[in-house]
Chain A
Amino acid sequence: MLQTDSEKEAIPLLQVENLSQQHQGVTVLRQVSLLAQRGQLTVITGPSGGGKSTLLRLLNRLDEPSAGRVLLEEVDTRSLPPMQLRCRVAMMLQRPTMFAGSVLENLQSSYRLRREPLPTADSAEIQRILTLCGIDNELLPRAADRLSIGQQQRVSLARALLTAPQILLLDEPTSALDRPSADRLGDLLKRLCHELGLTVMMVSHDLRLAERIADQLLFLCAGEIVERGGAEILRQPVSEQLRQFLADPQLHRSQEAQP
């Protein structure tokens, strides 16, 4: 069946239906449903242990849900080979992890895994991604695990983007960054969504950043999405849980960078 572009636009890129996850008899995620459109930036926030990372890990099938399903362009992700799914739905784990070797070798890793010819340092793909992610050309030959956390984060983002994903998942990408770096990363993600049509879903405690960049905000508490909407849900919380969360600066990071 052929679809016109406008018909394709109408289908949500990602649909999550009644996703539940149990771990050792404890329900971590309860009947979570959500939609994400092309080019949309979604921020998932909520107290620790509320199931945010668990949800993210189910979206690229790093874990298996107890119930429910995830649809990518209306196709059940369980019918896709996991390796292919994970290239279309890329994910940055909470701690940026560099493989042994240089920055360039790290950037080439997805090509190496697919046994494709490796792009060279001056190739168009690498140069484009370096500019996009704000990585200096001089870093390419350096040992990747000697970089600062901020630099590793950018390399890790560039490495993920080189798999040419439709969706990018990020778990607390700004938790180790200072305010200006966190803002820069936020702006970059926003640009990726709006200019390149990438769909971003990130877990974050950083409400100031969320308010600034999120197209869609999900408040996840005790395994359920308690509130959803635009940035206005932070200004006019309806539920008691979100009100409590906003009132306690220990739970989130709205002003200062955490040490």
Chain B
Amino acid sequence: MIDLTLLDLALVYGLVLLAAALVRLRGGEIRGLLIAALRMGLQLFAVGYLLHLIFALESAAPVLLVLLLMGGMAVHTVAGRIKEKMPHFYKVVGSAMLVGCGGGTIYFCVLVIGPDPWYDPRYLIPLSGMIIGNAMTGASLAAERLAQEIRARRDEVETALCLGATARQASLPAVRSALNAALIPSVNAMAAMGIVFLPGMMTGQILSGTEPMIAVKYQIAIMCVITGSVAVTSVLILQQGYRSYFSRYDQLQLPEKAE
């Protein structure tokens, strides 16, 4: 693959300056744009250096440490996105991500692909990164939608309780709708793949010289694993999450709305 020199990078950053100039000409605000472009450069170089180091170490511990760090960052990001957090949020989301993403990663990277050594960071880090990223989106959607649905369906939930429903039965329509919402991005992505856009991983592999048919097979595989991991993570969050809206005596308890 053709390497890019620092001069080459300077040339492409010229396009960011062009974008900034265009925005400025129209009287827009360019501070955010420039800071973002700068952050991208610094962050990616830092990650690149870290990966370079980990590849050189050739040992399982640092690879697993990076995966855990990514997972932790993902939980943190979900917490930041959601306005209305369920009680025991970190325990619920953290354990669900650990099982959903960890399970998906081990199943796909270690059992299906089977690289040698099993922790080969070239496979484990990018693939689990994609799984965690998508599960993160699914987790936010599931938790956020559950809170909305329980609030919107308050009368329906209480009517069911009045007819002798358990908390689980009364919240089932809300849980179902939240699970559907969590899976929408994966379903949409699979349906549009190859027609509306060329997926990033496949494009990247082709660029780096992989035979297109192999790249296609990897893309199909990762999408299946992502869908499974998103579903497992969301179901685990919803399973524990609905219960947090009810008291021990199956009384609906909506947290006071944070203004």
Q: Which residues of A line the B interface, CB within 8 A?
A: 60-64, 82-84, 86-87, 90-93, 95, 97, 99-100, 109-110, 113-114, 156, 159-160, 163
* Contact A114–B155 (Cβ < 8 Å): no
Query: Measured between alpha carbons, how far is A254 from B161 in the docked complex, in Å?
Result: 33
Q: A86-B161, A92-B162, A97-B156 are in contact. List 12 more A-B contacts (CB 8 A).
A: A61-B249, A62-B158, A82-B251, A83-B164, A86-B162, A86-B163, A90-B163, A93-B159, A109-B163, A113-B163, A156-B159, A163-B163
B185 at the interface (CB under 8 A from A): no
Establish whether residues A84 and B164, one from each chain, have CB atoms under 8 Å apart when the complex forms: yes
Contacts of B173 in A (CB 8 A): 100
Q: Which residues of chain A are near B169, meaning CB under 8 Å?
A: 113
Minimal beta-carbon separation of A116 from chain B (angstroms):
11
Q: Chain B residues with Cβ under 8 A from A156's Cβ?
A: 159
A-B contact pairs, 28 of them (CB 8 A): A62-B161, A62-B162, A64-B247, A82-B161, A82-B249, A82-B251, A83-B164, A84-B164, A86-B164, A87-B163, A87-B164, A92-B162, A93-B155, A93-B159, A93-B162, A95-B155, A97-B155, A97-B156, A97-B159, A109-B163, A110-B163, A113-B163, A113-B165, A113-B169, A156-B159, A159-B163, A160-B162, A163-B164
Asked if residues A83 and B250 are in contact (CB atoms below 8 Å), the reply is yes
Could you tell me if A91 and B249 are in contact, using CB atoms closer than 8 angstroms? no
Name the interface size band of chain B.
Answer: 10 to 19
Which residues of chain B come closer than 8 Å to A113, judged between CB atoms? Answer: 160, 163-166, 169
In the complex with contacts A99-B156, A100-B173, A64-B162 CB distance below 8 A:
no
Chain B 133-162 interface mask (CB, 8 Å, partner A; 1/0) = 000000000000000000000011011111
Write the residues of chain B forming the contact surface with A, with a CB cutoff of 8 angstroms: 155-156, 158-166, 169, 173, 247, 249-252
Residues of B within 8 A of A83 (CB): 164-166, 250
Please indicate the chain B residues that have their CB under 8 angstroms from the CB of A109 in the complex. 160, 163
Q: With the chains together, A139 CA to B159 CA distance in Å?
A: 21
Cα distance A87–B161 in the bound complex, in angstroms: 9
In the bound complex, CA of A95 to CA of B165 (Å) = 18
Distance (Å) between the CB of B17 and the closest chain A CB? 55
| Inter-subunit contact A63/B251 (CB<8 Å) | yes
The residue of chain A having its C-beta at the shortest distance from the C-beta of B165 within the complex is: A113
**Set of chain A residues within 8 Å of B251, measured between Cβ atoms:** 61-64, 82
Min Cβ gap B173→A in Å is: 7
> In this complex, what residue of A is CB-closest to B170?
A113
Instruction: Name the B residues within 8 Å of A95 (CB-CB).
Output: 155
**Shortest 7 CB-CB contacts between residues of A and residues of B:** A87-B164, A97-B155, A91-B162, A97-B159, A110-B163, A82-B250, A83-B164
Tell me the smallest distance from the CB of A145 to a CB of chain B, in Å. Answer: 10
User: How far is B160's CA from A87's CA once the two chains are assembled, in angstroms?
Assistant: 11
Complex CA gap A163/B160 in Å reads 12
Residues of B within 8 A of A114 (CB): 164
Residues of chain A contacted by B155 (CB below 8 angstroms): 93, 95, 97
Q: Within the complex, what minimum Cβ distance (angstroms) separates B185 from chain A? A: 25
Closest to B157 in A: A97
Give Cα A257–Cα B165 distance, bound, in whole angstroms.
34
Check A60–B162 contact: CB distance below 8 A. yes
